[in-house]
Structure 1
Amino acid sequence: MMIRPAVLAAIKAGDVDLAFRRWDRARVKVGTRMRTGFGVIEVTSVERVPLGSLRADDARRAGAASLAALKQELAHRDDPVWRVGVRYAGADPREALRETIPDADEIAEIHRRLDRLDAASKHGPWTRASLEIIDANPEVRAPDLAAQLGRETQEWKTDVRKLKELGLTESLAIGYRLSPRGEAVLDNGKPRKRAPRPTGTPLPRSIGAPATRALRAQGITSVEQVADWTEDDLRALHGVGPIAVARLTESLAGLGLGFREP
């Protein structure tokens, strides 16, 4: 269930507690928890409703500009309308885990878990090599990293998600980087010299790789930096299209920011 960043921010703030979708069948159930860039969103209710039963209060609670706007959003498909209750259920526990530096005993236990992942893999040991290549190549496309390891991209990305569940890596708009926890595990008591970690809110992955590369070329690596640009100046960058601008607008709004006025 995809939810736009601005709506996620509104759910977190408590301003939105409904979502409406056209589905052939219910795609979520009560208690479903979705991890997002704004934290964990929980489904509190799922109900099939007639389109004609929607009211202005439904639109307000769903973050729509008006009842007419909500119905227009739902007009592009003929599937049944589902009314989904949602609430903010707290921060993604992986975020706190990524920032937690393990002690020596924890590092030893994590290495034992990595050994078990290696032993269960049909590709042979892969965990340390993956941590090493991500550490050496932050923000590099997954296909490029997989190719260096002689792995098929999708299978390797599935493996990297296992490292993410352990709090060792984080996904970026392009590629990955090790978390502070991942660095501690890889270093195993012998810290390496690394470039300073970027600050600010990472660029949303939904803007796409071309837009991400265009922004990086201008030294923009965080959503906060986007606020220093006018919308027209961003649109003038090759690779930054309407969808990227819309996603950036939503991300800025979620932080209480906007584009610089001309």
Structure 2
Amino acid sequence: MHFFKRDFQNQFAHSTHNLPLFNYFGGFGIFNALRFFKMTYCLGIKVKEGLLAIADTRITTGTDTTVKKKITIAQKDHFSLFIMTSGLRSVRDKAITYFTEQLETREFNKLYKAVNAFGEKVKLAAVEDKAALEQAGFKFDLNTIIGGQLQDDDEHKLFLLYPEGNWVELGEGSPYVVIGNAAHGKAILNRTLTENSSLKLALKTGFLSFDSTRVSANNVDFPIDVVLYKKDSFEVVEQRYEKKDLEFISAQWAEELKNALNHVSEAWMDPAFEKLNEITAKS
């Protein structure tokens, strides 16, 4: 039981800011509330030019906040993939460890086969830990984004793997996937991204999606890790951005939104305000 409490403390905030919510869930609220928290922002984007991954690095332990990498990369000859997860950190670490060890002795020529293998490790972790986790009030909810390109893949691929080990492939009509805290940043992705978008536009849009999440939720924050992959290159690049690196972009975007709002037509509002003015004139 103490092990699972430590695992909770490494992933979920329970500061005084959140006490009203925890109290709402009852006497054992800190554990019941657990399933409602998504302490991660991970975004995967696939365009014709390549792949983009963005993940925050925030880990909260009580009132302490630390930084821990949430993107795992496997890179060798004609073999490039990245893995991002949301959910219990202990489950993620176990599945990643099992999978990384398997990569030392097993070859995969297509990405879907590697995704299947990682799914098997997630299911193994479920066999070993799920019952005890659920008995302690935790939900086995590891969602995973896996992207990359292996030797016999005709192009780069992007997959969403569910906790049960099944998966879907992202493709035409669905150029992105978000796991974790996905409620706040989808609008700009839906309005902007297509499979024909450039990687530069994908990164710009992806950052603004993260930024929308960051300003709307207290459990997602800088630094962020970015991974870029160009089709048929079999080489990923990584970049970490601190708040000081991008706060001017956040400020610029906020100002651009205000300016754009001021230029939105107001004629459609006239009938409603005319009625309001009529009421005011009578009083």
TM-score (norm 2): 0.27
**Structure having greater relative contact order (Cα 8 Å, sep ≥ 6):** 2
More strand by share: 2
TM-score (norm 1): 0.29
